Structure 1
């Protein structure tokens, strides 16, 4: 993403559309109240259906493929994972002027964790390591490539372009030379293509995690990027969420070697430097987490 390109226009969705879709395709749920659920996510719109269900509708054509990926793989992954994941209860189809497939899921309780405000960071780090380890060992054949599963070199052009774009935003106060040095250190390391691919969630952002009142991992959501790839690509929480001591706990629990850690840091940094100029005026949550990642990478490794 780059703020130099125009923003795609999301397909309009609202409560009235969702009510019509539910009434036609899932009449048993037609009487449930519908209300939009606020989310910092950028690809899907969420609507609570009563207290126990949630409808999730892609806002862009690119998100429609994620619907089928979740329908295919979530039922197979769920029994292998240590925390709840979304359960598809209804497979919605295009109708009422809405052009793409959509789904109804069981509602999963919990709150998104916030970097810098974790109540149980060490325990959460162990929980996240357990989830990542379980994904890696899922062993399901026929998996698609993860959306974010390739080597850092695949992001070379977009990452360098984003760093240069940030040079033109002095009010962000980003040390772009330091960012470049971190990025280049990953490119000099062992190539990820020599690493056997593993199952990945591939989008472990705080917005895709739910924690309970004790601050422990309660669920992981949004598997639209899931598939197989470089194990470094599921290390994002080390920098987008966890403080330094818990970051070490996460790494130790997964026994991450130096080359994988370096690639994971670079992949997380790449996502942040691309997101910051793109979202800095439109999505405060995404931009704020991008700033957090940049600080975490440059100050703590």
Structure 2
């Protein structure tokens, strides 16, 4: 983002259209759910599309920050209660659903908080990632079961952001990386440039779509204090799509023995799917790095930049 000669720079992509403060969240929650009235409310996390508050020390409430996130919130409310019993790791299950009102025009919801630390903040050494990788691979194997898509996929959109199309993702990633270079956060790497150039000629992987998380990266996988998988959060992009959307984490978050453990737990990944997953890993890594640089999140920036390198490594 560069300054314009006739005014201030444009707002970043993650700027909220509506900012929910703890005071407003407390008022909305107390009005809708009397049993939580007067419960303490504190900000827990902020992302591009949602702000999360911890209520009464037990409940995590998600409020959209941008209109574009509302459809995802509605999908979470409808889909997570059905998915949760079928998955081997905890996912949020909406227990409280707030309706739009004059004070806040969009739906919001609360679930029992899943204790854990974002993978991005854990600074877990690669030699300690093998168990986490295997648990993540097993989780995705269950999520990507074709039978699950037949059971719960009827109301889900099909890859609405075209994340399984490597040619489109590669083109968009070049712009993201250019922005990182301009920020001084990243130096161009020939291996990355070569991979993206080749990816522009790739077709999407074949095969039937499955249920995918849709935005599985290092902020959405939670870890226990000893570095194991604690849960998977932020399902606003849940959809039907190629498994490559979620497999991107295998290439950005793990390498060497840890990646091998992931793939052993998950199963074989065809070459075209691997290429699409690596391309998306580069795209998500660049996007997260730009966001981290713009919001002062040092741990996320370090993990995202490392993930860019891992995505093109053997």
One fold, TM greater than 0.5?
A: yes
Unmatched tracts of structure 1, length 5 or more: none
Structure 2 residue aligned with 1:61: 67
CA contact (8 A) 1:146 1:200 kept: no
Name the counterpart of 1:257: 270
Question: Is 1:162–2:176 an aligned residue pair?
Answer: yes
Q: Select between 157-166 and 218-227 the one with higher mean Cα deviation.
A: 157-166
| C-alpha distance in 2 between matches for 1:283 and 1:64 | 26
What are the equivalent positions in structure 2 for 1:43-58 lying under 5 Å apart?
Answer: 43-58=49-64
1:36 alignment partner in structure 2: 43
> Separation in 2 of the partners of 1:52 and 1:278?
28
State the match for 1:88 in structure 2. 94
SS at match of 1:235: helix
Aligned residues: 296
User: Separation in 1 of the partners of 2:290 and 2:62?
Assistant: 27
Equivalence for 2:306: 292
Residue 40 of structure 1 and its aligned partner are, at CA, apart by 5.2
> Structure 1 length normalisation: TM-score?
0.88
Matched, 1:122 2:122: no
Q: Distance in 1 between matches of 2:114 and 2:186?
A: 38
Question: Does the aligned pair in 1 maintain the 2:49–2:69 contact within 8 Å?
Answer: yes
Q: How far did residue 257 of structure 1 move?
A: 2.5
Aligned pairs for 1:78-157 within 5 A = 78-95=84-101, 97-113=103-119, 114-117=122-125, 120-137=128-145, 138-139=148-149, 140-142=152-154, 143-147=156-160, 149-157=163-171
Task: Give the aligned partner of residue 198 of structure 2.
Answer: 185
**Structure 2 CA distance for partners of 1:259 and 1:132, relative to 1, 3 Å:** same
Q: Residues 179 and 277 (structure 1 numbering): CA distance in 2 closer, same or farther, change over 3 Å?
A: same
CA RMSD of aligned residues (A): 2.4
C-alpha change, 1:32 and 1:167, in structure 2 (3 Å) is closer
Partners of 1:162 and 1:23 lie apart in 2 by 41
Aligned counterpart, 1:280: 293
Query: Do 1:167 and 1:176's aligned partners in 2 also have CA atoms closer than 8 Å?
Result: no
CA drift of 1:197 comes to 1.3
Shift of 1:259: 2.3
1:202-241 superposed matches below 5 A: 202-241=214-253
The match for 1:72 is: 78
Name the CA distance, whole Å, in 1 between partners of 2:226 and 2:290.
34
Q: Which of structures 1 and 2 has the larger relative contact order (alpha carbons within 8 angstroms, sep 6+)?
A: 1
CA separation in 2, counterparts of 1:167 and 1:111?
29
**Secondary structure in 2 aligned to 1:228?**
strand
Give unmatched runs, 5+ long, in structure 2. 3-8
C-alpha distance in 2 between matches for 1:173 and 1:221: 28
Moved more, 97-106 or 107-116: 107-116
Question: What does the per-residue CA deviation read over 1:80-101, in whole Å, with 9 as the maximum and x for residues that have no partner?
Answer: 1111110101111223522211
